[in-house]
Homo-oligomer: A and B are copies of this chain.
Amino acid sequence: MSAKDEASILRRLKSIEGHVRGVSRMVEEDQYCIDIVNQIGAVQRALGKVSELVLDRHLHTCATTAIRGDNPSDRERVIEEILDVFKSSGRR
């Protein structure tokens, strides 16, 4: 991962950590349940965005290298990994 991509991903994760702390505060302050559920949804979507960035890097680097490489079992492995990510993306 390039230093710039990494910095952007780390910044997003830092902000997500703060967002989770904010949700804890909402629970402590007995805020309205639906508002809490909506904030949790926002955190989940922010995490989804980070996943997309990491996957974007992966496809442009490791996955491309393996698929362009001469080792059929490496190729098969990266393809299976991408499929698994797609399968589990429906279960959050």
Chain A contacts to B: CB under 8 angstroms: 1, 6, 9-10, 13-14, 16-17, 20-21, 23-24, 27-28, 30, 32-34, 36-38, 40-41, 43-45, 47-48, 50-52, 54-64, 67-68, 75, 79, 81-92
Chain A binding site: helix, strand, loop or mixed by DSSP? helix
Find A55's partner among B10, B23, B37, B60 (CB 8 Å cutoff).
Answer: B37
9 sample A-B contacts, Cβ–Cβ < 8 Å, listed by A number: A6-B27, A13-B23, A17-B20, A33-B54, A33-B55, A33-B58, A37-B54, A41-B89, A86-B89
* Alpha-carbon gap, A82 to B56, bound state (A): 9
| Cβ contact within 8 Å between B40 and A47 | yes
